[in-house]
Amino acid sequence: MRGLTLLEILIVIALMAIIAGFVIPMFSGPVSTSELRASARQLAAGLRLARSEALAERRETFLVVDVAGKRFKVDRDPAEHNLSSKIDIKLFTAQNDLVSDSVGSIRFFPDGGSNGGRITVASGERKFDVDVDWLTGRVAILD
């Protein structure tokens, strides 16, 4: 009885690797978990910046979120931060801080408190919630 040669085994392994390279990406979502987490961290950093500005300058400060455009900006900061176009964003905030159906804000007060709210970044079943505590203004990322 004849066995397999090393060359035949290497060819089979190479073919399996090529097939796996095509098949595995078909089952993963369009957005990686790290990209989703990075978007949540970017939003959390913006919220923390808005809170620190409110405390330092002793005035109300906003983080304005454009859900449709998938971008946000801190009140008087001219820089606009774009998020990945592949993610879905939902904003939960006070009714009086909604500018339109797709634009709203989270407000921070001079004492560090906030109107509270939540920004959810999601892709399929995976999501991260960026929560803002209304009493303390503390920002937390929840899985």
Which long-range contacts link 73-82 to residues 24+ away (Cβ below 8 Å)? 73/46, 74/46, 74/49, 74/50, 75/50, 77/49, 81/42, 81/46
All domains in the chain, ordered by first residue: 33-142 (3.55.40.10)
Residue 135: pLDDT over 80:
yes
Q: Per-residue pLDDT for 51 more than 60?
A: yes
Q: What is the pLDDT of residue 29?
A: 56
Write the pLDDT tens digit of every residue in 6-35: 888 888 898 998 888 877 766 655 778 888
Inter-residue contact 128 to 104 (CB < 8 Å): no
State pTM to two decimals.
0.78
pLDDT tens digits, 53-110: 999 999 999 999 999 999 999 988 888 999 988 899 999 999 989 989 899 999 999 9
Is a pLDDT exceeding 70 seen at residue 141?
yes
Mind spelling out the 3-state secondary structure of the chain? CCCCCHHHHHHHHHHHHHHHHHHHHHHCCCCCHHHHHHHHHHHHHHHHHHHHHHHHHCCCEEEEEECCCCEEEECCCCCCEECCCCCEEEEECCHHHECCCCEEEEEECCCCCECCEEEEEEECCEEEEEEECCCCCCEEEEC
